[in-house]
Amino acid sequence: MSETASDRTSVPQHVAIIMDGNGRWAQQRGRPRTFGHSKGVEAVRRVVEAAGDMGIHTLTLFSFSTENWNRPADEVGALFELMKRYVAADLKSLKQRGVRIRIIGRREDLREDLAEIVGQAEAETASNTDFNLNIAFNYGGRDEILRAAQNLARAIHAGDLSVDAIDEGRFSGALDTAGLPDVDLMIRTSGEQRISNFLLWQAAYAEFHFTDVLWPDFDEAELARALEAFKNRDRRYGGVDAGAA
């Protein structure tokens, strides 16, 4: 890679993407929504590869939300099937490329075959450290926060934790993203400008980048554009600009 060390410091460590617009992409072509979801998997492959090349260390992709159960059953079924096929087909190459896979979200409602393959993907890549790929599947930010609160409450109840020991670090550690850095850059495709219950805790200080591009058209050049926009942001974290003080 040609970039210098100083370029790298402005690369976001953790990028999260709300991959939106598959349905509209398909509808524009007179095809069923599920066709857009299949095309969306190709964009996932492009972006996972490009993100590693660009020096991003953690990528979290929103694949299926806790609210997406509101869709017709055949679409939900197709999304589950695509997730299973993607993990099954790509596990070997992701593993070889040093990718650690995590599936974040509610496990309980996953079909047994999907739960098995995601469990296998996590176990087989657990010792990889080059790149973190988190797939948010059956994920909702509020649901994740509630599950974390329940687990902490259980630990208190069992006498393993005191109430006063719960600080931000401890709470972060009870989330599905335990051990991972907060989100630096959140991207949403398809022109919508909302968070849709994604990474509510982790995105507390994320920069947002919205693009009208529909997810199946998202590629390396689009990701580069988002990183360029990020570079020009001034992250103040409640403080004032260096030099203004």
* Set 20, 90, 176, 184: catalytic member: 20
List the interface residues with ligand IPE, window 162-201 (CB under 6 A).
190, 192, 194, 196
Tokens for 153? 């409450």
List the interface residues with Mg ion, window 14-73 (CB under 5 A).
20
Q: Is 211 in the site for ligand IPE (CB under 6 A)?
A: no
Bridge partners (DSSP) listed for residue 64: 137
Tokens for 10? 């402005």
Exposure b/e, 129-161, CB count within 10 A at least 16 = b: eebbbbbbbbbbbebbeebbeeebeebeeeeeb
Residue position matching structure tokens 């492959």: 45
Residues 20, 24, 29, CA angle at the centre, nearest 5°?
Answer: 135
Contact residue for ligand IPE among 78, 79, 91, 206 (CB under 6 A): 79
Contact residue for ligand IPE among 22, 66, 125, 132 (CB under 6 A): 22
Is residue 20 part of the annotated active site? The answer reads yes
Least Å distance, CB 204 to ligand IPE, is 19
Q: Is 86 in the site for ligand IPE (CB under 6 A)?
A: no
Could you tell me where the DSSP H helices lie in 20-134?
Answer: 22-28, 33-53, 73-96, 112-125
Q: Is 18 in the site for ligand IPE (CB under 6 A)?
A: yes
Which value, in Å, is the radius of gyration of the alpha carbons in the chain? 19
Residue 17 or 174 with smaller CB distance to ligand IPE: 17
Q: Which does 236 bind (CB under 5 to 8 A by kind): Mg ion, ligand IPE, none?
A: none
State which residue has the least CB distance to Mg ion: 20
Contact residue for ligand IPE among 11, 14, 15, 23 (CB under 6 A): 23
CA-to-CA distance for 232 and 36, rounded, in angstroms?
32
Q: Which residues bind ligand IPE (CB under 6 A)?
A: 18-24, 62-65, 68, 79, 190, 192, 194, 196, 215
